């Protein structure tokens, strides 16, 4: 029995050993992030991330709130983010907004208005310590223009959320593919 107690620490030390082998993975899903100044409110920073070979799924939790999830697919998911840092010394003072939408890989030019924005799964996310307002909202009031070629993706979005206040309401960006 004493031998068993002696072996327990040795087993635990061996279990905590890190992997020393070289791990090689190939990534078929590529991501491109661009920090941007176009139409970004002065007090914050903005960025655009393209997730290639992905599909955007709009899910619903048990309370009826929606949220985006990206899975492997054939399309391009665009995520635009606006971040405003909170006052120094605050834990939950940061504020951010995200806009998610999906562009079919074969699309070259798109013009989508109002209710048809659900075709690209356009979602607005508000992330802050603002009770009753934080969360994701489907966008049904606006206009999205997309032009895509072999090198660039240009999009222009004007929108209103309606169910909550928003800082970003107009985005014009060109991103290298």
Helices (H), 26-160: none
Whether 125 contacts 99, CB under 8 Å: yes
pLDDT per residue as tens digits for the range 60-103: 998 889 999 999 999 999 999 999 998 888 888 899 999 999 99
Residue 55 tokens read as 């599909």
Number of domains within the chain = 1
CA 70 to chain CA centroid, Å, is 9
Per-residue pLDDT at 172 exceeds 50? yes
Residue 7 lies in a domain: no
Domain interval for residue 118: 30-176
pLDDT band at 30 (very low <50, low <70, confident <90, very high): low
Other CB atoms within a 10 A radius of the CB of residue 157 amount to 24
Closest C-alpha to 121, from 51, 62, 55, 63: 55
Residue 97 lies in a domain: yes
**pLDDT value at position 94?**
92
Residue 108 lies in a domain: yes
Residue 2 lies in a domain: no
Whether 122 contacts 137, CB under 8 Å: no
**pLDDT value at position 148?**
92
φ and ψ at 2, to 5 degrees? -65, -35
Per-residue pLDDT at 43 exceeds 60? yes
pLDDT band at 59 (very low <50, low <70, confident <90, very high): very high
Residue 10 lies in a domain: no
Whether 33 contacts 48, CB under 8 Å: yes
φ and ψ at 120, to 5 degrees? -105, 10
């Amino acid at each position: 029995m004493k031998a068993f107690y002696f072996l327990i620490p040795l087993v635990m030390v061996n279990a905590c050993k890190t992997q020393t082998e070289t791990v090689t993975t190939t990534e078929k899903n590529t991501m491109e992030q661009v920090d941007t100044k176009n139409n970004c409110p002065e007090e914050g920073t903005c960025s655009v991330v393209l997730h290639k070979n992905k599909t955007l799924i709009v899910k619903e939790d048990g309370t009826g709130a929606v949220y985006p999830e990206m899975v492997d697919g054939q399309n391009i998911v665009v995520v635009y983010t606006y971040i405003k840092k909170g006052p120094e010394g605050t834990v939950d003072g940061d504020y951010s907004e995200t806009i998610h939408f999906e562009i079919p890989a074969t699309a070259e030019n798109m013009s989508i208005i109002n209710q048809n924005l659900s075709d690209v799964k356009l979602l607005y996310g508000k992330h802050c310590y603002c009770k009753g307002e934080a969360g994701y909202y489907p966008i049904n009031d606006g206009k999205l223009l997309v032009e895509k070629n072999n090198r660039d993706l240009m999009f222009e979005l004007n929108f209103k959320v309606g169910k909550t206040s928003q800082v970003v309401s107009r985005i014009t960006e060109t991103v290298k593919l």
